[in-house]
Amino acid sequence: MFAESEILSRTGGREVAEIAFDTETIAARVAELGREITHHYREGELLVVGLLKGSFIFMSDLVRAILRPHQVDFLVAASYGHGTTSSGSVRLLYDPETSLTGRHILLVEDIVDSGTTLNRLVRLLRERGPRSLEICALLHKRLAPQLELEPRFVGFDAPALFLVGYGLDHAEDFRHLPFIASLKV
């Protein structure tokens, strides 16, 4: 729990409407996800690929909760710009350096909103010939009409609100908040 004054200090005075997922709730669910993922991948090489920037905090907690060997890499895409709704287009700015061929790939997303980002990335990653491809999303709004691949691992179903914190931003602000919240408009 955080005092209101501490939250305002972190946000620079911007008021939080509601904390959707608090620090303790997130930590407990991430630990469970780590166990689910560990159990799922019994053998083979596992590469955990985080989609930047939104997944950076989730990734750092999640990989420490996966109790089997794996490697880590990242992808950079951009879809939102500075607005609060999806623009529908995805730009790929960085591809993983590591080969994906023949390895189990676990793509890690902070949030599935319209599904545009994931659909584009799933097509691209499948072309690299992975042994398997699965998605782990911390938040899933369940609004996407058609996903190329449903996330196998989901932290929480998320409300249809614009959420910030724990990696999620609004115009690059608020990623550092240690909880996930909606902002007062």
* Residue numbers annotated as active site: 113
Choosing from 58, 80, 153, 174, the residue that interacts with ligand PRP (CB under 6 A) is 80
Q: Which part of the chain contacts ligand PRP (CB under 6 A), choosing from 37-45, 64-72, 79-87, 151-159?
A: 79-87
Choosing from 86, 126, 131, 170, the residue that interacts with ligand PRP (CB under 6 A) is 86
Judged by CB under 6 A, the number of residues near ligand PRP is 18
* Of residues 155, 154, 90, 151, the one with CA closest to residue 124: 90
Task: Count Cβ atoms below 10 Å from residue 102 Cβ, excluding itself.
Answer: 11
Q: Which part of the chain contacts ligand PRP (CB under 6 A), choosing from 19-27, 64-72, 104-112, 156-164?
A: 104-112
Choosing from 33, 169, 174, 177, the residue that interacts with ligand PRP (CB under 6 A) is 169
87 near ligand PRP, judged by CB under 6 A = no
Q: Which is nearer to ligand PRP, 41 or 58 (CB)?
A: 58
Q: Which is nearer to ligand PRP, 25 or 79 (CB)?
A: 79
- DSSP letter for 149, please: S
Q: Which is nearer to ligand PRP, 134 or 169 (CB)?
A: 169
C-alpha–C-alpha distance, residues 104 and 25, integer Å: 28
Residue with tokens 């676990």: 106
Task: Count Cβ atoms below 10 Å from residue 89 Cβ, excluding itself.
Answer: 11
- For 16, counting Cβ atoms within 10 Å of its Cβ (0-12 exposed, 13-18 middle, 19+ buried), the class is buried
Q: Which is nearer to ligand PRP, 81 or 129 (CB)?
A: 81
DSSP H helices in 84-181: 116-126
DSSP conformation letters of 109-123: EEEESSSHHHHHHHH
C-alpha–C-alpha distance, residues 78 and 53, integer Å: 9
Residues 22-51 that bind ligand PRP (CB under 6 A): 51
111 near ligand PRP, judged by CB under 6 A = yes
Binding site for ligand PRP (CB under 6 A): 51-54, 78-80, 86, 109-117, 169
